[in-house]
Amino acid sequence: MMDRNQPLRTGSLRVLVTGASSGVGEATAKLFARRGARVALLGRRPEELQRVAADIGTDAHTLVADVSDAGAVRNAVRSAIHVMGGLDVAVNAAGVAGHVALENLSDDHWHEVLQTNLSGTFYVAREAALHMRRAGRGAIVNVASDLASVGAAGLVHYCAAKAGVVGLTKALALELAPSVRVNAVCPGPIDTPMVRAGLSAAPDPLAALASKEGTVPLNRLADPEEVAAAIYFLAVEGTFATGTSMAFDGGTTAA
């Protein structure tokens, strides 16, 4: 069993990151790689995964899979374990969003967001956790959201999914202790391609950006690299943290 008083050694880590083709997932994969870890990049877009892998170098492996597909996730996680010789850290950063008014929120859209953001997190965590528990060590970090604890109009599906991720994190942490730690980070608005795409669709993108920044007490969006640093802490350095959901939101949930 892992010595719980010692952090995982980054230079020997085998790390799986979902949503690794952009945003927080890409930043997280690159941070672990810079600190000596071997990384497996999981996502739906092979060209973008190859771009990230090329930036990282020889210790990056790409896995094309949709996290909403349980069978594809099972095969991908097993492939990551095979190619890296094990798995020490899994980061669930894959997600989809999009504002939809309640009257326009179709069953299909509801299921898409819940299946990707919540079920996808579960599928990856389940496969990773079963391996880690057998190995006697490991850490899982799930990317939730500040909207797990505060609602937002037009994001009923997203809020529900991210609240589910927080509950999933707590339950897994209790079931997998003491050998596997499970935590979540709950970012506020992040400057990612997905967020920028949503802002660019507004009639006045600059005004939309200013409005979004104005909802954050720190008056700005987070950089993906900042969120990656919080994920790294929970995975590697925060050795007494399990079942926690770290608010990393610039103050959006402080009130």
- Residues noted as catalytic: 158
**Helix (H/G/I), strand (E/B), else coil: 92:** strand
| Closest to 125 in 3D by CA, of 169, 82, 155, 185 | 169
Tell me which DSSP letter residue 10 carries: G
* Whether the Cβ atoms of residue 186 and residue 249 lie closer than 8 Å to each other: yes
116 vs 13: CA distance, rounded Å: 26
| Closest to 157 in 3D by CA, of 216, 219, 113, 205 | 113
Tell me which DSSP letter residue 222 carries: B
Cα 175 to the center of its chain, rounded Å: 20
97 vs 133: CA distance, rounded Å: 32
* Whether the Cβ atoms of residue 19 and residue 41 lie closer than 8 Å to each other: no
178 cis-preceded (ω within 30 degrees of 0): yes
Tell me which amino acid residue 66 is. Answer: D
Q: Is 27 left (phi over 0), alpha (psi -120 to 50) or beta?
A: alpha
Helices (runs of H) and strands (runs of E) counted in the chain: 9, 7
| Closest to 28 in 3D by CA, of 173, 139, 119 | 139
